[in-house]
Structure 1
Amino acid sequence: MYRYAVIYNPHSGHNNGESVGQKIEQALIKNQHKVELMPTEGPKDATRLAKKAARAGFDVVVAVGGDGTINEVVSGLATLDQPPYLGIVPAGTVNNLARMLQIPLDIDQAIENLQQVHLRPLDVGQVNDDCLISTMTLGILADAALNVTQSEKQKWGPLAFLSKGIHALAEHQHYPLTIETPDRHWQKDTQFLLVTLTNSVGGFTNFNPEAQPDDGYFHVFVAPKMSLARSVMFLPYFLTGNFKKIPGMTYFKANEISITVDNQQSAQTRIDGDPSAKSPLEMRLLEHKLQVITPNPDL
């Protein structure tokens, strides 16, 4: 028997977050587990609730939602020396982390997965004072994501982000960056930078086949300047897991990174779908920081 704290937004989706929370509660109680529902009351409240659940001695803290909600829960757990296990019931538009961990996107199957308690280590990124569980974008990809409406996300899913990103390339905005790791130094003029911990980006699960949830690295892509026509020509690279092979693309792995926009212009970043820190960025990987419940490959 385990004690589960279930953190969810009661107004998520079509205001059906409450019913999803109750469904999880009923399934866990049916199997003799103890459950406490913890609905959020506003932005970043999931971080507070995750810390509260850990202090109360819960065995598992369940994040119900997309990458943004999971990020908030992880932000509360990653500061602890002995955090509870992380459980995930994916209920977002993109669900990059859940896709990489092969957690079912079907609610009923995801609830069943919670009760198997098969654990896998999970790396967590730290970006200044923020946590990173999936992706960080800087430049036009971050700007483009700001223009994706909730209705577009619900209607088109990951394709909404891809479409906005391609059109943003036509604006020809670029950023001079200084990027440093413990053993390298670059100065690059780029339209966008992408840092990922997952093989799924924008919901496309074959984006970066090399990435693993516990491999100990940030995977970094620094794009060359591209016209709209050139970006469309390279779209197959994105869809077939060969993004790093785009001519002029800089790709590297590191566990510590410093990133500065050299001309001090405002460069928006987004972490796991939400607006986040601006330059300069100090990034550090917290290797195997959490234990997350995933499907048992032997079953």
Structure 2
Amino acid sequence: MARFSEVLLICNGKAGQGTLETLLKDAVPPLLDICNELIIHKTKEKGDAERVCRESGSRYELVVIMGGDGTIHEAINGLSVLSDRPLVAILPGGTCNDFARSLRIPMNIGQAVRLITEQPYEQEIDIVKAGERYFSNFWGTGLVAQTSDNIDVGSKSVLGKLSYYISAFQSIQDSPILNVKVTTENKVVEEEVVMLLVANGRSIGSNPLPTCINMDDGLMDIYVVKKSGFPLLKEFLVIKSTGNISEEYDDIMHIQAKEAHIELGQDEKLDMDGELYEGSRQSLRVLHKHLRFVVGASE
């Protein structure tokens, strides 16, 4: 059994009261058994998780993030700037929990806690710096950002990950064409696209991305999608569970790179781990094995 001196547990204060109480009831007693002191921080507003991680993350041996992809995105941005970075563990408590899935974390909270409290398996994971921000799972523009933008908050709480599919089908009807230039250390691509996706993790909208994606190889996987249609939707959002992008899809270009500079024809919505930003230029750089995570066993 692992043993820690001080542990910080960050939980999403916006979670439903009954849901949060249930998650804490399942998580806190086992965590207390493995540490001398457990500090619980319930987030109060947007940016709170990032601030707490940035200001005090270095003093803890272990930081546990209990919440969905939004809470994790905030915490990653707070932890990534630290020179002395703690071990990080995730207890999934959101809708899609994509980064937790990428790390092979069980969706059952009890099983996820046992990964931490028993003999935890640690893995150093790449983080990608995007301008002055950081992402752990993906960066995207075009269809993927439009899908996130179209998801209704009310339907998300009721329908869960099904809302992602509904939004995707709605978005694909009128996907705009984007003028994109992607410059990497060994390739320059200029295309008219419906979607540009930069993947570090292996799941979007609870659905697996190609298994060729490695989260600790020092490379980001860039997918340049040149045209839309139902095959594209199936490939990325519905049935893609194994292997690389199929050869039959000539409209999807796959590039691996350590660094990439992206130029868009105009300001567009930019999606980082499900959080929306806006801009026309973005410089991306892989920070190789930047954070240590508790992960599930290899398949």
TM-score (norm: length of structure 2): 0.89
The letter of the residue matching 1:257 is A
1:269 aligned onto 2:267: no
Counterpart of 1:24 in structure 2 is 27
CA contact (8 A) 1:6 1:21 kept: no
The letter of the residue matching 2:69 is D
Counterpart of 1:121 in structure 2 is 124
The letter of the residue matching 1:237 is E
Q: 1:101 & 1:22 partners in 2: Cα distance?
A: 23
Q: 1:30 & 1:172 partners in 2: Cα distance?
A: 51
The letter of the residue matching 1:267 is E
CA contact (8 A) 2:207 2:240 kept: no
1:140 to 136, 143, 146: 143
Number of aligned positions between the proteins = 290
Q: 2:172 & 2:188 partners in 1: Cα distance?
A: 26
1:94 aligned onto 2:96: yes
Deviation at 1:152, TM superposition (A): 2.6
- Aligned CA distance change for structure 1 residues 155 and 19 (closer, same or farther; 3 Å): closer
Q: 2:126 & 2:46 partners in 1: Cα distance?
A: 24
Counterpart of 1:159 in structure 2 is 162
* Larger strand fraction of residues: 2
Deviation at 1:277, TM superposition (A): 4.2
Counterpart of 1:202 in structure 2 is 205
Q: Deviations over 1:72-100 (max 9, x none)?
A: 11111111222010011011111111112
Counterpart of 2:43 in structure 1 is 40
Q: Deviations over 1:151-184 (max 9, x none)?
A: 4334443332233223222214111011100111
Counterpart of 1:12 in structure 2 is 15
CA contact (8 A) 2:195 2:224 kept: yes
When structure 1 is superposed on structure 2, of 98-107 and 241-250 the one drifting more is 241-250
Task: List structure 1 segments (4+ residues) > 4 angstroms apart after TM superposition.
Answer: none
CA contact (8 A) 2:14 2:44 kept: no
SS at 1:42 equivalent: coil
Q: Deviations over 1:84-118 (max 9, x none)?
A: 10011011111111112111111111111122332
CA contact (8 A) 1:127 1:284 kept: yes
CA contact (8 A) 1:61 1:84 kept: yes
The letter of the residue matching 2:215 is P
Q: 1:194 & 1:297 partners in 2: Cα distance?
A: 25
Counterpart of 1:176 in structure 2 is 179
> What is the identity percentage for the equivalent residue pairs of Structure 1 and Structure 2?
23
Q: 2:17 & 2:94 partners in 1: Cα distance?
A: 12
Deviation at 1:235, TM superposition (A): 4.1
Cα RMSD for the two superposed structures: 2.1
Counterpart of 1:61 in structure 2 is 63
TM-score (norm: length of structure 1): 0.89
Counterpart of 2:230 in structure 1 is 232
SS at 1:24 equivalent: helix
Counterpart of 1:285 in structure 2 is 286
Structure 1 gaps, min length 5 = none
